[in-house]
Chain A
Amino acid sequence: MYRYDAFDHRITAERVAQFRDQVRRRLSGELSEDEFRILRLQNGLYMQIHAYMLRIAVPYGLVSAAQMRMFAHIARKYDRGYGHFTTRQNIQFNWLKLQDAPDALADLASVEMHANQTSGNCIRNITSDEFAGVARDEIADPRPYAEILRQWSTFHPEFAYLPRKFKFAITGAVNDRAAIAVHDIGLQVVKNAQGEVGFRVLVGGGLGRTPIIGVEICDFVSWQHIITYVESIVRVYNEYGRRDNIYKARIKILVKALGIEEFKRQVEEDWQFTKDGPCTITQAELDRVSAYFVAPAYAQLSDMATASDHPAFNRWCERNVKPHKVPGYVSVVLSLKRTGIAPGDATAEQMDAAAELAERFSFGELRITHMQNLVLADVKQSDLPDLWEAARKLGMATANIGLLTDMICCPGGDFCTLANARSIPLAKAIAECFDDLDFQHDIGDIEINISGCINACGHHHVGHIGILGVDKDGEEWYQIQLGGAQGNEARLGKVIGRSFSFEQMPEVIARLLQVYVRERYDDERFIDTVRRLGIDPFKAEVYGTPIEAEEELRGPGYGLVGDVTPYATPYYSPRF
């Protein structure tokens, strides 16, 4: 993986010093909260319901064992012993104190990590394919380009105060696992007729209040020009993106308003000034960065059968083990979706243990997936039984990857000030209801995505079943969307009708699944049945008869996650 040189270290250290001074000035009153808010956001610090939240950048989802141990350290020293992996392959901690944040960032810098630009109206951490470098369907490893773009976007002087946040995703594979169509800029590695590497560039995708699938602005930008090309996109956006209405400020609205042809014309007019200029990526720079992503020292192996006489192990292999381009190796998904825990949460002990697993089985590296799980990318097939045993003891071997309980879930009303409804307790209620693995394996591939509000951190628009928390007269309700999908066939789900109470939701899911079980062809996946039939039969089943609320789910106390005792009143927030 990429390692910092003296320049990276110096920039990161100077950033920590800058923020330390900004925190000092905030605490002394020299900076008002209005002035400070944007500065702290660009250092990953949000103010949530209970405390500050620190979102740490995990560039393209890749971490070393040492970095994973640092997360455990942050969890213990500055937080409450756990962290939350997010859909943008980052990790966030929920219980930070403002005065501790500079020390936490300094600790992170010691292992070449930071929280730069993980929030705010700037270019955010760039996400990628969790199987980058090892996937069988890969055209080229996207990580060197992601790292080059990370450096370009870090403290870019023109683009720190954009109209709104700006997210890149990049994939190097045939099958898109990075959801590039729902990002402000999506980059897909392609090769032209001459075999040269370049990018198909999508622009203007995004979820949130106005979900839009990104459109192609250029079918091939050769790799040397990718910095200048995306810089022109962001510059046109900075100049012309709307700033009068926060809900219409994302680039997707500008692209829609201008039309892709006119937007492209403006971008390429700007690009003429920089194309072939000094920001053109050199072969030497690509080589330098690529050298950090060469394949590890794989053993010469051949593929072997992994089936055993242990059904639970076989089931885990079926769901959590993924193909690898090198014979004898596989990638393993460590599930953070055990029933009863908040999806994507890991304790400090689990983080330490995952780091150890990485060292023992996978060249000391891990990846974080946008589905909020962990990946050991380079595992010998012969190590699978040992890894399974070890992961089982840690509660990270639930054989549910891609199944019903592998839900995407935002922090929701338990933590987030934006949320209209709780997400984590709902995920818990649904998981408890369908916990039976035989049932889940029978249902097969299905994606349930839960967002606690319209901002769509839980990607509900692209869930096969999308759940959106809505507020009605101060009460939490949930709206269902059906038929959304991510990947190469990305599309947005359709709302099926009026919303449901928290207590009704498990039965709503049960009814949707009943229609599927009744109507499916042999091997048809849930999403394919929905596409074939449309939403009407599902609607008919769900709304056909009244749904009793499940009594045991009543009350706001259901599904409380860990210790939610607020801190004693700090002076810096009127809300505490």
Chain B
Amino acid sequence: MTKNKFPKFSLIGVICLLIFLFSGFFIIKKTSVSFYLIYVFLMLLWLVLTVLFMSMTMSDKRCRSWLLLIPFTVAMMFMRLCFSWNIIIPFLAVGLFAVFTDSAREIIRHEEQPLKQVICHFAVTAGSIIIYICIYAYMGVTV
């Protein structure tokens, strides 16, 4: 029985998404502590599922495409700190689409018939972003 190693570049994805979640934590304008707890729980669940499924559908077993999320995380933090851009969703969405685009190109390069796997990967990416937006909407955040 072979032991599956956790792809190390997925850790980059986990860290970047945690930064996004941490930034979103300050945008929520709820006074109740339970809302923050729900936010943390939902977002951690979302993070785990997103990283897990996106890594599973990637062609590269080392999941190097997660590296592309770094510039978007840095850009989001930079704009937040320097220009007070309190927005997260565009950075996160486009960052995840960048990850998808890169890994889709890898899939296209390695697979003979890549359509099915690319659609599956796209569905996972778009689905995770939609869930993210829904969680934010539940928390009263639209940006």
Does B associate with A? no
Residues of B near any A CB (own CB < 8 A): none
